[in-house]
Amino acid sequence: MSSKGIPDDMLVCRCEEITADEIRQAIREGARDVTGVKRRVRAGMGLCQGRICEKFVQQILCQELHMGLVQTGRSTARPPVRPVPFGELARGCGNDL
């Protein structure tokens, strides 16, 4: 899918309710990669940690800045891989995170 196909009013990041238009605005404000977008408009900061929206954000970046997918970067991989209660984490059940 090309990012032209992503309409401005589409919710790209559902966790944080960020539209494609807001992501394009972040790019106009200087964001050049996934992390730059995230810091400006919170896309990817919600419960799913960008697992769903990252690809769309990358596509919009490619389109707007005429860059390749690799240059759009990825958000830093950080544990836990999926949400885990602090109680389990404290008990050391985090070893397979």
Partner 1 sequence: MIYDVTVIGAGAIGTSVAYHLCKKGFSVALIDRGDIASGSSSHCDAVALISDKAPGLDTKMGDASIRHYRELAESFSYDFEYDRKGCLYVCETEEELAAASSYAKRQAADGYDMKIVDAKTMREMEPYLADDLLGGIWTPGDIAVCPYKVCFAFVEEGKKLGLKVYPYTHISRIRLSANRMVEAVETDAGDILTKRVINCAGVWAPDVGKLVGLDIPIQPRKGMNLISEQTKRIVWHKVMEFGYMMSKFESINFRRNVSSLVEEYNVAFNIEYTKADNILLGGYRGFRGFDVRSELEAMQAIAERGIRFYPCLKGINCIRSYAGVRPYVKDHLPVVSAVDEVPGFYIAAGHEGDGICLSPITGKLMAQLVAGETTDFDIRRLRFSRFTEAQRTA
If the CB atoms of residues 59 and 75 are measured against partner 1, the closer one turns out to be 75
The continuous run of DSSP H or E covering 89 comes out as helix 86-90
Which residues are CB-contacts of 44 (< 8 A; sequence separation ≥ 6)?
A: 13, 16, 34, 37, 38, 50, 53, 54, 57, 75
Residue number, 11 or 45, with CB nearest to partner 1: 45
Q: Please identify, using beta-carbon distances, which residue of 2 and 95 lies nearer to partner 1.
A: 95
Residues making contact with partner 1 (CB under 8 A): 16, 29-33, 35-36, 39-40, 42, 45-47, 49, 76, 78-80, 83-87, 89-90, 92, 94-95, 97
Q: Provide the minimum distance between the beta carbon of 11 and partner 1 in the complex, in angstroms, as a whole number.
A: 17
User: Could you tell me the CA-to-CA distances from 57 to 5, 61, 62, 82, 83 in Å, in that order?
Assistant: 13, 6, 9, 21, 22
Closest to partner 1 by CB, 69 vs 89, is 89
